[in-house]
């Protein structure tokens, strides 16, 4: 059925809810629209919740949202946002008619966007070919590995032509305020943000991930310097002795810094960091296990499999199979490397 772009007098947002979508971004979109109407003093801003078949959709928090329309139904929209979590990064289970609906929206002039892992669905629809996009930081490598015609940026949101994407979580509000500023002006957007206790209008170029010092809560310059080198050299690990040399310190001093900061050794920390990256690629992509092993600095597949099992309690292949199931059912959720955050259960995913 025909879908028309909206007019400048109304701001109509369609929100497509993917299976196991994250609740927090949806709430931020709905509240931004609700408060916009309070500021405007009339019902200028509206939304419609959309699912593949018009039925309720279960979120990643296991709460259901009642859809009002099905993808493909006739509706007048100005913006269509795909709200998806890490399940959509792991599983390409969107019906072909959903992808066709998104392409039709774009052709008809509706601004199409993705929230958190919504970029995966837009990429499967071909709407990100030759474009830049944002996605949750835990899925940056997975998206880049899966779609080689897409440029993934590590920012809170990205505008590329008629397609907008954000990294999820609080960046959803950044994207909404940007869209509101484009519709009603920056002062209006700032008023909405102020009422939501969000005083800043952050620009699209702001990094989605916090500074390393903030992320780790560590003050040690030695430990932070070493972790920066480790994070930048996942595929070709740098020997710990060479890291110490780069930082101009004895290796024993570096080991003491890691013991104080992380209660582990630099070698163990580096291994856990690489395994955490490997798990993201195992569970979010279909790349061969050997490719993942090499991508994360393991030249021997057997060594990779043994290390993976020790860290997560299952083999990479078993973890991939389990990850295609409902959130919370993966074997790897039961165990993860110490001192390295799991990339599967971040806020906004």
Total H helices, total E strands in the chain:
15, 13
Q: What are phi and psi of 282, to 5 degrees?
A: -65, -45
- pLDDT at residue 344 tops 60: no
Handedness of CA 303, 300, 140, 144 (dihedral sign): negative
Q: What is the mean pLDDT of residues 78-99?
A: 87
Residue 17: which pLDDT band, with cuts at 50, 70 and 90? very high
d(CA 175, CA 111): 13
Q: What is the pLDDT of residues 194-236, one digit of tens each?
A: 999 998 899 999 999 888 999 999 999 999 999 999 999 999 9
The predicted structure's pLDDT at residue 137 = 92
Per the structure block, which two tokens stand in for 54? Answer: 């018009």
Q: Which residues lie closer than 8 Å to 172 by C-beta, 6 or more apart?
A: 24, 25, 28, 29, 115, 116, 166, 348
The predicted structure's pLDDT at residue 22 = 95
Q: What is the mean pLDDT of residues 88-100?
A: 83
Residue 86: which pLDDT band, with cuts at 50, 70 and 90? confident
Closest CA to 13 of 158, 110, 157: 110
Cα–Cα–Cα angle for 13, 15, 19, rounded to 5 degrees? 180
The segment with the largest mean pLDDT, out of 2-11, 261-270, 333-342, is 261-270
DSSP track, 44-87 = -EEEEEEESSSS-EE-TTS-EE--SEETTS--EESEEEEEE-HH
d(CA 211, CA 209): 7
The predicted structure's pLDDT at residue 8 = 55
Q: What is the pLDDT of residues 318-327, one digit of tens each?
A: 999 988 775 5
Beta bridge partners of 84: 116
Closest CA to 168 of 137, 132, 205, 127: 137
Q: Helix axis angle, 266-284 relative to 301-312, nearest 10°?
A: 90
Q: What is the pLDDT of residues 113-154, one digit of tens each?
A: 999 999 999 999 999 999 999 999 999 999 999 999 999 999
Residue 83: which pLDDT band, with cuts at 50, 70 and 90? very high
pTM over 0.85: no
Q: Where are the domains of the chain?
A: 4-195, 212-333
Q: What are phi and psi of 52, to 5 degrees?
A: -60, -40
The predicted structure's pLDDT at residue 196 = 97
CB 50 within 8 A of CB 68: yes
d(CA 115, CA 95): 19
In the chain, pLDDT over 70 holds for what percent of residues?
A: 90
Fold of 4-195: Rossmann fold (3.40.50)
- pLDDT at residue 191 tops 90: yes
The predicted structure's pLDDT at residue 87 = 80
Radius of gyration of the chain (CA): 22
- pLDDT at residue 338 tops 50: no
- pLDDT at residue 72 tops 60: yes
d(CA 112, CA 3): 13
Residue 36: which pLDDT band, with cuts at 50, 70 and 90? very high
When the candidates are 1.10.10.60, 1.10.3720.10, 1.20.1440.230, 3.30.70.3400, the CATH number that belongs to 212-333 is 1.10.10.60
In the chain, pLDDT over 90 holds for what percent of residues?
A: 81
Ranges 12-26, 76-90, 141-155, 239-253: which has the least confidence: 76-90
């Amino acid at each position: 059925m025909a879908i028309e772009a909206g007019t400048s007098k109304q701001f109509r947002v369609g929100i497509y809810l993917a299976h196991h979508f994250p609740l927090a971004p949806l709430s931020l979109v709905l509240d931004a629209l609700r408060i916009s109407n309070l500021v405007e003093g009339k019902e200028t801003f509206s939304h419609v919740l959309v699912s593949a078949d018009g039925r309720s959709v279960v979120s990643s928090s296991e709460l259901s949202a009642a859809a009002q329309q099905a993808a493909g139904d006739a509706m007048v929209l100005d913006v269509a946002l795909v709200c998806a979590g890490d399940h959509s990064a792991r599983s390409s289970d969107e019906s072909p008619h959903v992808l066709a609906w998104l392409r039709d929206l774009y052709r008809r002039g509706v601004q199409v966007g993705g929230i958190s892992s919504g970029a995966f669905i837009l990429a499967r629809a071909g709407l990100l070919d030759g474009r830049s996009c944002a996605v949750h930081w835990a899925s940056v490598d997975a998206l880049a590995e899966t779609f080689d015609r897409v440029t993934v940026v590590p920012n809170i949101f990205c505008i590329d032509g008629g397609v907008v994407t954000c990294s999820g979580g609080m960046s959803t509000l950044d994207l909404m305020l940007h869209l509101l500023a484009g519709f009603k002006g920056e002062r209006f957007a700032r008023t909405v943000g102020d009422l939501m206790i969000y005083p800043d209008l952050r620009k699209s170029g702001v990094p989605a991930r916090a500074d390393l010092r903030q992320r780790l809560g560590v003050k040690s310059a030695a430990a932070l310097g070493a972790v920066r080198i480790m994070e930048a050299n996942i595929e070709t690990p740098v020997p710990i002795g060479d890291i110490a040399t780069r930082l101009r310190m004895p290796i024993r001093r570096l080991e003491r810094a890691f013991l104080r900061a992380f209660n582990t050794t630099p070698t163990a920390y580096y291994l856990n960091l690489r395994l955490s990256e490997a798990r993201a690629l195992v569970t979010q992509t279909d790349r061969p296990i050997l490719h993942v092993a090499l991508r994360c600095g393991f030249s021997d597949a057997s060594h990779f499999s043994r290390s993976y099992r020790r860290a997560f309690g299952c083999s990479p292949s078993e973890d991939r199979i389990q990850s295609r199931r409902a959130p919370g059912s993966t074997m790897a959720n039961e165990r993860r490397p110490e001192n390295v955050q799991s990339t599967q259960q971040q806020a906004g995913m």
